[in-house]
Amino acid sequence: MEKILLIGGGGHCESVIDSILESSSFDIIGILDTPEKVGETIGGIPIVGVDEDLQGWRDKGVQNAFITLGSIGNTQLRQKLFQKAKDLGFFFPVVKDKTAIVSNKININEGTFIGKGAIVNASVKIGKLAIINSGAIVEHGSTIGDYCHLAPGATLSGNVSIGKSTHIGTNTTIIQGVKIGEDTIIGAGSVVIRNIGSFKKAYGNPCKEATNE
Ligand code: JB2
């Protein structure tokens, strides 16, 4: 079994570990986190070092890595850690929980996670390093940009488009054909029936852009 190194050892990491172990897809050799967390164990996997150790693990022949630090809104750290490991030659697989229902007719990119019970239907495009979290539904023809996070239970009807680094809050519903820009945050439980621009915060039913933030 190929070895994989995980980067970021919090709650999201625990979810990803569970998915990897249950599908026996990789041999997880350890987690990199901040110095004060070295020696702790997450989901049975030890935190073995810090980001500066990436080169050392690469030199030891570890080829795969996964960013297990999550995001709510700000994806900068995830992007930075990804680029650092990528520059050292690490390969980023897709991690898909065995309970996810995912069409074979999709296009999905490196480092993306699909969590428990998520459904992804035909002709969907998902960028790199996205998080399609537990129970999220992505209907046919939708496009999810790089670094996006669809939080648990988010539902995208057909042909929805989400720009890069955008966060769709828990249990948000987006009707068919809606376009949401990049680096935008949609608050939990929103019902999105019209397009929302880039670099916005928006929430509510019907979902509206916040004006004073
Ligand atoms: O520079 C870093 C760094 N900074 C913080 N490098 C590495 N390798 N790790 C870093 N961390 C670590 O990320 C923290 O020490 C901590 O262990 C972890 C973040 O854990 P936390 O549980 O706070 O959040 P998360 O990123 O696992 O999960 C967020 O995103 C998920 C998708 C949460 O908000 C969850 O609720 C959400 N489901």
Do 179 and 144 lie in a common domain? yes
**Domain membership flag for residue 213:** no
Give the residue numbers spanning the domain of 165.
97-204
Structure letter (DSSP) for residue 37: G
Do 178 and 108 lie in a common domain? yes
Q: How far is the CA of 33 from the centre of ligand 1 (A)?
A: 9
- Domain termination residue (choose one: 87, 122, 146): 87
**Domain membership flag for residue 32:** yes
**Domain membership flag for residue 209:** no
140 is catalytic: yes
Do 154 and 194 lie in a common domain? yes
Do 7 and 45 lie in a common domain? yes
Task: Give the per-residue pLDDT at 182.
Answer: 98
Are the C-beta atoms of residues 16 and 113 closer than 8 Å to each other? Answer: yes
* Tens digit of pLDDT at every position of the chain (213 positions): 999 999 999 999 999 999 999 998 899 999 999 999 999 999 999 999 999 999 999 999 999 999 999 988 899 999 999 999 999 999 999 999 999 999 999 999 999 999 999 999 999 999 999 999 999 999 999 999 999 999 999 999 999 999 999 999 999 999 999 999 999 999 999 999 999 999 999 999 999 999 865
Task: Give the per-residue pLDDT at 87.
Answer: 97
Reference 115, options 128, 133, 101, 127; nearest CA is 133
The residue whose CA has the least distance to atom 25 of ligand 1 is 70
Task: Give the per-residue pLDDT at 213.
Answer: 53
Beta carbon of 7 within 6 Å of any ligand 1 atom:
yes
Beta carbon of 163 within 6 Å of any ligand 1 atom:
no
Task: Give the per-residue pLDDT at 170.
Answer: 98
Are the C-beta atoms of residues 6 and 65 closer than 8 Å to each other? Answer: yes
Do 55 and 124 lie in a common domain? no
Do 123 and 187 lie in a common domain? yes
Do 82 and 7 lie in a common domain? yes
DSSP letters, 72-122, are SS--HHHHHHHHHHHHTT-B---EE-TT-EE-SS-EE-TT-EE-TT-EE-T
* Residue of 14, 33, 48, 165 with the most ligand 1 atoms within 8 Å of its CB, for mutation: 33
Q: Which atom of ligand 1 is nearest to the CA of 68?
A: 27
DSSP letters, 144-170, are E-TT-EE-TT-EE-TT-EE-TT-EE-T
Do 73 and 136 lie in a common domain? no
Instruction: Give the count of beta carbons closer than 10 Å to the beta carbon of residue 99.
Output: 15
CATH number of the domain that 131 lies in?
2.160.10.10
Q: How far is the CA of 200 from the centre of ligand 1 (A)?
A: 23
Task: Give the per-residue pLDDT at 198.
Answer: 97
102 DSSP β-pair partners: 120
**Domain membership flag for residue 124:** yes
Beta carbon of 13 within 6 Å of any ligand 1 atom:
yes
**Domain membership flag for residue 9:** yes
0.95 cut: is pTM over it? yes
The residue whose CA has the least distance to atom 20 of ligand 1 is 10
CA atoms within 13 A on the CB side of 70: 20
Do 61 and 122 lie in a common domain? no
Do 171 and 105 lie in a common domain? yes
**Domain membership flag for residue 193:** yes
Number of separate domains in the chain = 2
Do 132 and 114 lie in a common domain? yes
Helix (H) or strand (E) segment spanning residue 136 = none
Task: Give the per-residue pLDDT at 35.
Answer: 97
Q: Long-range contacts for 202-210 (Cβ within 8 Å, ≥24 apart)?
A: 203/169, 207/172
**Domain membership flag for residue 130:** yes
